[in-house]
Amino acid sequence: MSDTFESVKALADGFATTFKHLFRKPITEEYPEYKRPLPVRSRARIILTRDPDGDERCVACYLCSAVCPVSCISMQSAERSNGRRYASWFRINFGRCIYCGLCEEACPTSAIQLTPNFDHCKREILSMVYEKEDLLVDHCGKDPDYNFYRHAGISTAKRDKGEHINEFKPVRVKSNLP
């Protein structure tokens, strides 16, 4: 008898839930007319950012391409006359990218960042290969204050080694000897 009662109660609960939803306002979102704002740390389209001085952050160290599990990042390093490295070309094949975020984790300069912009898929697979001019943006992304050259112990056109913000003076190794 109690089994029958339990079954009828479960059935009634189910129908009650369905009945309640009949009178609720639908919450269907009309995509793509309406795009729900995603959290800032969502992992989708990748960009190459600039530092607060407006210069390219990427120093073409190859760490992102080394860590990428699907090998979809490639680049060529080059060096300016002031010793600052950059990528002469930088390519990401979004047709292979799995948006794992490992490249962003590995990047020492905070150059490569994933953004919440998820709807850049296209039917033509080759158009998913993005070059540096498609990736490089004119802002700092998620790290507005970070400048690799202020922490890296590298002299720049603006300051010498150890003179940048938050940087310690270079250690003279011989001074540590007994």
Residues that bind ligand SF4 (CB under 6 A): 58-64, 67-70, 72-73, 92, 97-103, 106-107, 109, 111-112
CA distance 27 to 65: 41
3-state DSSP assignment of residue 47: strand
Q: Shortest approach of ligand SF4 to residue 114 CB, angstroms?
A: 6
Q: Shortest approach of ligand SF4 to residue 168 CB, angstroms?
A: 22
Residues 49/84, Cβ–Cβ less than 8 Å: no
CA distance 64 to 91: 12
Which letter, b or e, does each residue of 94-107 get, where b requires 16 or more Cβ atoms within 10 Å of its Cβ?
beebeeeebbbebb
Residue with smaller CB distance to ligand SF4, 10 or 66: 66
Residue with smaller CB distance to ligand SF4, 139 or 169: 139
Q: Shortest approach of ligand SF4 to residue 103 CB, angstroms?
A: 3
Q: Shortest approach of ligand SF4 to residue 148 CB, angstroms?
A: 8
Q: Shortest approach of ligand SF4 to residue 63 CB, angstroms?
A: 4
Residue with smaller CB distance to ligand SF4, 58 or 140: 58
Residue with smaller CB distance to ligand SF4, 27 or 126: 126
CA proximity to 148, closest of 58, 46, 54, 76 = 58
Residues 81/170, Cβ–Cβ less than 8 Å: no
DSSP letters spanning 100-145: --HHHHH-TTS-EEE-S------SSGGGGEE-HHHHB-SS-TT-SS
Residue with smaller CB distance to ligand SF4, 112 or 140: 112
Q: Shortest approach of ligand SF4 to residue 108 CB, angstroms?
A: 6
Residue with smaller CB distance to ligand SF4, 72 or 164: 72
Quote the Cα angle for 48-152-178, to 5°: 160
